[in-house]
Structure 1
């Protein structure tokens, strides 16, 4: 049987130039494995950085793109009792999900609710836990507390807004362009502002001078210090990215005189340290919220594998207001 995958054999500064769809032969299914037809797999910023060689963890080449997704079991190997044929399953992190088919050990698969949108479930593994863990692992926040984040129009930003609201937290959401404000408000945000030198003044006006205990930074550069200046004394700033392409810039005086703490967060590091029980708890909680319709991400467009170059180019664009999804077994690309 012919299958297809998005493969790259080199890395380079223009991510869409190094990847393309290639056909491959599916082997005989080994005992203990199941064959999964991949239904949906997102393109995350980490996927783009992997193609350019700038991510912190790079697979050996040649490699298949994609780090998360969902699929449906279409065949079971000898000795497999579950998941059964027809089951919707969460794909293991880092298994190369931009492909029509994957043969995987049955014991590594997690079954998902069968009546939930696969596109929304495909984003379960990376962005929602990143948002949830940054809200819960660094500061003991209570209902009514304030959190400020930049890159609020990103997928993580959208999940953070929804999760904060479910926990009774208030958010101040910072974007880098005025055209992104409306999309962030549509995701449930009340306070949305454009990043600038006077950010602390506008934050005080929006919050009535409330204390801000936690800041979450995905931009770096001078934006890091802009967030730090909005924090209450003793506040914590968590960085998880550098969308500006610049290092975090922050004056030592905020560490010395205002006791601001700067921390970093990388989900891959959390995966290494968390117990299986903790991972199951986090993913189960998120899957439940998605199934209940309480947590979702805005999707800008979906692409099939024949249009993987266009999909990667769209994902790498800084002017998106939604996620780019690969549907390896889906129809030709269509905006939704």
Structure 2
């Protein structure tokens, strides 16, 4: 039996250029303690939040030095004695924030979410952050009914793609806003309308939806884009912001706030994790995992990289217009 090689992508300081800071190194994992397992990482995506964690711009930062990667999927290869609830060979969803850009991680067994052996591990590796974000934005902000419209910007993003798919499954219709014409082709299939952002967005939305009263706007851009979404909503509507891709603070005019009664609120998945119960988390992840395994929920993947190509992977993940997610496969492409 071959002795495993343990490697990880770690950074010791933060700065504006992630690919210059993260280095791959060999490491020796600690002995397993009671209740722990060793997991071979099958796949781990590179998300915008991962890059922002390295640059220091994210809302929650790990102590340094830190191993990159907030989510991933793996296979249990070793378990501490006395663990009956999880078996060696079990495929699992890794705990958020554990540092998944590594060949192996050590985790508490009760922090893992068991997954079926079926399904593409690369697609399942993206289960923990973007799909639940999209699902909760659609179900927890406004009580939407089948047939209603939702408008979102950054519609060609990973979360945007999941919003389109999950909305369609619920009988909702989507107006999908992007920042450039070339991005229209990157919006997930099933989108009802795709528009390029601009000062006359609200007028074009009314034309695309036959004047539908839209009650929910999903904003990942911030700045003036937030107010443009608000202008497209019906009086009393809600804009929920979950990102700042535009780099600026959310703007909302007094006209929207005072005279049209528009509400602006924020969403952060980490807070939902803190406030939700174990059964709520199990129900959400179970439903999303089933859809991914069935192939009804998926995200395009632009490139897969091995761990030794972490610099190239981070460079690719930092570029716009990719047409898909960048995913690390630390132990080679999983079967």
For Structure 1 versus Structure 2, the TM-score category normalised by the shorter chain is over 0.9
Offset at residue 182 of structure 1 (A): 1.3
Do residues 54 (structure 1) and 34 (structure 2) align? Answer: no
> Gapped runs of 5+ residues in structure 1?
332-336
Aligned residues of 2:152 and 2:217 also touching (Cα < 8 A): yes
Aligned counterpart in structure 2 of residue 234 of structure 1, from 233, 236, 241: 236
Aligned residues of 1:33 and 1:103 also touching (Cα < 8 A): yes
Tell me the residue number matched to 1:202: 204
Aligned counterpart in structure 1 of residue 29 of structure 2, from 18, 26, 31: 26
> Gapped runs of 5+ residues in structure 2?
none
Tell me the residue number matched to 2:330: 328
Aligned counterpart in structure 2 of residue 295 of structure 1, from 294, 297, 309: 297
Offset at residue 118 of structure 1 (A): 0.4
Offset at residue 100 of structure 1 (A): 0.1
Do residues 125 (structure 1) and 128 (structure 2) align? Answer: yes
SS at match of 1:147: strand
In structure 2, how many angstroms separate the alpha carbons of the residues matched to 1:183 and 1:228?
Answer: 24
Runs of 4+ deviating beyond 4 Å: none
Aligned counterpart in structure 2 of residue 84 of structure 1, from 84, 87, 98: 87
Please report the TM-score for the alignment, with normalisation by the length of structure 2. Answer: 0.96
Offset at residue 30 of structure 1 (A): 2.9
In structure 1, how many angstroms separate the alpha carbons of the residues matched to 2:18 and 2:98?
Answer: 19
Tell me the residue number matched to 1:144: 147
SS at match of 2:309: helix
SS at match of 1:68: coil
Offset at residue 177 of structure 1 (A): 1.1
Aligned residues of 1:66 and 1:96 also touching (Cα < 8 A): yes
In structure 1, how many angstroms separate the alpha carbons of the residues matched to 2:132 and 2:30?
Answer: 34
When the two structures are aligned, how many residues end up with a matched partner? 331
Offset at residue 54 of structure 1 (A): 0.5
- Higher mean Cα deviation, 284-293 or 47-56? 284-293
Aligned residues of 1:2 and 1:26 also touching (Cα < 8 A): no
In structure 2, how many angstroms separate the alpha carbons of the residues matched to 1:249 and 1:107?
Answer: 42
Offset at residue 77 of structure 1 (A): 1.9
In structure 2, how many angstroms separate the alpha carbons of the residues matched to 1:211 and 1:148?
Answer: 11
Offset at residue 32 of structure 1 (A): 2.5
Tell me the residue number matched to 2:5: 2
In structure 2, how many angstroms separate the alpha carbons of the residues matched to 1:254 and 1:28?
Answer: 58
In structure 2, how many angstroms separate the alpha carbons of the residues matched to 1:128 and 1:324?
Answer: 16
Aligned counterpart in structure 2 of residue 316 of structure 1, from 312, 315, 318: 318
Q: How big is the alpha-carbon RMSD for the aligned residues of Structure 1 and Structure 2?
A: 1.3
Aligned residues of 1:38 and 1:100 also touching (Cα < 8 A): yes
Aligned counterpart in structure 2 of residue 160 of structure 1, from 159, 163, 171: 163
Aligned residues of 2:173 and 2:191 also touching (Cα < 8 A): no
In structure 2, how many angstroms separate the alpha carbons of the residues matched to 1:162 and 1:319?
Answer: 20
SS at match of 1:156: helix
In structure 2, how many angstroms separate the alpha carbons of the residues matched to 1:266 and 1:16?
Answer: 26
Offset at residue 222 of structure 1 (A): 1.0
Tell me the residue number matched to 1:259: 261
In structure 2, how many angstroms separate the alpha carbons of the residues matched to 1:218 and 1:253?
Answer: 22
